[in-house]
Amino acid sequence: MTDDLSLSGVAVVVLGAGLGTRMKSDLPKVLHPVAGRPMVNHVLAAAGAVGPERSVVVIGPGMDNLAKAVAPAVTAMQETARGTADAVKAARQTLAGFGEGQGQADLVVLFGDAATLEAQTLHDLVVARREADAAVAVLGVNLTTENRYGRLVKAPDGSLERIVEFCDISDEEKSITLCNSGMMSLNAHVAFELIDAIGNDNAKGEFYLTDVVEIARSGGHSVTVLEIDDPDDTIGADDQLDLARFEAVMQRRLRERAMAEGCSMAAPETVFLSCDTVIGRDVTIEPHVVIAPGVTIGDGVIVKSFSHLENCTVGRDARIGPYARLRPGASIGDDAHIGNFVEIKNATVEPGAKANHLSYIGDARIGARANIGAGTITCNYDGYLKHHTEIGEDAFIGSNTALVAPVTVGDGAIVGAGSTLTHDVEPHALSVERSKQVTREGLARSIRKRNAAEKERRKQEQEKDG
């Protein structure tokens, strides 16, 4: 495998107009997420590695959410679902002029639900067509288990003779292990000439791109096949079960990549990452951690068990968790500590600051080396608007403090435990807000006696009514 997979003269068409009815969802099939990213965006990322001159996503009517998700990729509309060949035709205008004056030019057709497609496979598919000087190269995968995929039938010379749909497979052909992924690369100079020759004389009255193999051969063109053995690299997702399998495949890849780059995971199968997760060197992620999209973790960080991170940054040598939640906008500084059952949202925790127990910090800045006592909360929402809390460097916030925003605690200030702050605290001041403690000797005994008598009275009434 090479680091640079770019190729000149490549255009990519991604088919995404299918509704995916077996997903049992109102969301277009290709928008279902895998590792925090829609499936179609995984396909576009793989395609992007070969440096395509043009990329087109074919969508259906009413799929504005799909067009938005794939932007800035260009979209083309397939007004009526009339098969895969018709879908490629929908991209014709967008591809006008592509390949003109170029010796080698490939039109690569991919499916938007092939989320686990590797860029290397796509690169190899184009190279296989060019090296064979073929009109079409089809991507096939060897599957030894029972399946419902079409089969690729090869000629004696090793070229691809035809594609047999599963519903038309003979008993003899069922023994063929080479299955059709549906993805292919076509010589762009003849691609639409071949596609235009595809008819719809079939039970569904649709135009199937797979017919291009027979049409190419009948026209004197050669057809080749790129064989791979990894089904995780080719097969699309039809339902929620397939989607779960895709997630497992992608999570395995992400974990292996992270560990190869120096991340330590004692139980990697329990850690969930996102495709854009950035992890530094010497990071330890303990079991049962979920990292949602948009997370960057610096060198030397320890993320303890049962923590959840999303759209946040964690600085070098910080300690997170266990049972911590970092929500969008959380920025944790170097050597900061966010501990048990602490939630941070849209807040900056500066280097060396600590919130070790049972606290909520939202819409705030916690200054360097400040200490947030157990049970502290920032009261940031008044029912209509969010308000900011400012805590200075080296400040000490006592346990069970409520900071009613907007409020500022100055550098080096101390807030006594149990306080409810509604006014600013000057730097290096001590602020304590508590009601007077009142103690009445022996009163607890009489309260217990009274409550016990009431409990017994209610019990007797229930027995009487019962």
* Closest C-alpha among 14, 121, 21, 125 to residue 70: 14
* Across 72-82, average pLDDT: 94
* Closest C-alpha among 95, 107, 115 to residue 45: 115
| Domain annotation for the chain: domains and CATH numbers | 10-233 (3.90.550.10), 264-431 (2.160.10.10)
Longest dimension (CA), the chain: 105
Does the active-site annotation cover 357? yes
What per-residue confidence (pLDDT) applies to 426?
97
CA dist., res. 309 & res. 320, Å (int) = 10
* Across 322-337, average pLDDT: 98
Cα 219 from chain centroid (whole Å) = 44
Could you give the 3-state DSSP secondary structure of residue 131? helix
Active-site hit among 32, 308, 337, 357: 357
CA dist., res. 124 & res. 129, Å (int) = 9
CA dist., res. 148 & res. 278, Å (int) = 38
For the chain, what is the total number of helices (H) and then of strands (E)?
8, 35
Model confidence pLDDT, tens digit, residues 397-429: 999 999 999 999 999 999 999 999 999 999 999
Burial class (CB in 10 A: 0-12, 13-18, 19+), 57: buried
> Which helix or strand (DSSP H or E) is residue 140 part of?
strand 136-142
User: Which pLDDT band, with edges at 50, 70 and 90, does 294 fall under?
Assistant: very high
Rounded to the nearest integer, the mean pLDDT of the chain is 94
The percentage of the chain sitting over the pLDDT mark of 90, rounded to a whole number, equals 86
Phi and psi for 230 in degrees, rounded to 5? Answer: -105, 105
* Across 118-132, average pLDDT: 96
Model confidence pLDDT, tens digit, residues 336-374: 999 999 999 999 999 999 999 999 999 999 999 999 999
Model confidence pLDDT, tens digit, residues 169-178: 888 888 899 9
Inter-residue contact 91 to 98 (CB < 8 Å): no
What per-residue confidence (pLDDT) applies to 122?
96
Q: What is the pTM of this model?
A: 0.88
Inter-residue contact 401 to 375 (CB < 8 Å): yes
Which residues does 30 contact at the CB level (< 8 Å), separation at least 6? 16, 18, 20, 38, 39, 40, 43, 66, 112, 113
| pLDDT at 1 exceeding the cut of 60 | no
Which residues does 275 contact at the CB level (< 8 Å), separation at least 6? 34, 35, 36, 37, 42, 45, 250, 254, 293
Token pair 């390949």: residue? 99
Could you give the 3-state DSSP secondary structure of residue 34? strand
The percentage of the chain sitting over the pLDDT mark of 70, rounded to a whole number, equals 99
